């Protein structure tokens, strides 16, 4: 067995092991149009919608308060977006998560973004949705 094959097998085992123990949240909402979202280990957000897709890395999060005994958390991240028809760029999402039950949470976020399509443009995107934790 050559080194490339051994490295590929080792990477597959390491990846499957880490994904098996990962916290995975799946949901639907509105970000780049209506679509589905995935959150992995409270750090990586991905969204695919009918207008485009986003990928964000959440580098800071914390507890904000309690709303009728439901935890309200905040997060900040950095990421990128691609529109299906036009537009691509970088963004900085700021969001709030309301944990309604142990498995269900709702989120709302605002993401200032810099669009590099043609001439540089600054804009603000918003998102809202609901997620289920596996």
- To which residue do tokens 């001439």 refer? 119
Between 8-17, 20-29, 50-59, 106-115, the lowest mean confidence (pLDDT) is in 8-17
Which CATH number describes the domain made up of 23-133? Answer: 2.40.160
- For residue 6, is pLDDT > 70? no
Mean pLDDT of 44-67: 94
Which pLDDT band holds residue 118 (cuts at 50, 70, 90)? confident
Q: Give the SS3 label for residue 85.
A: coil
Sequence-ordered alpha helix ranges (H) in the chain: 3-20
């Amino acid at each position: 067995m050559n080194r490339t094959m051994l490295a590929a097998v080792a990477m597959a085992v390491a990846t499957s092991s880490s994904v098996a123990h990962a916290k995975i949240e799946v949901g639907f909402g509105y970000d780049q149009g209506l679509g589905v979202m995935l959150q992995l280990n409270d750090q990586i957000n991905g969204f695919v919608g009918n207008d485009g897709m986003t990928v964000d890395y959440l580098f800071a999060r914390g507890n904000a308060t309690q709303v009728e005994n439901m935890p309200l958390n905040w997060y900040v991240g950095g990421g990128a977006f691609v529109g299906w028809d036009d537009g691509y760029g970088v963004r900085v999402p700021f969001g709030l998560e309301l944990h309604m039950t142990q498995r269900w949470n709702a989120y709302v976020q605002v993401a200032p973004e810099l669009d590099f399509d043609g001439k540089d443009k600054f804009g603000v995107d918003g998102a809202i949705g609901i997620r289920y934790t596996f």
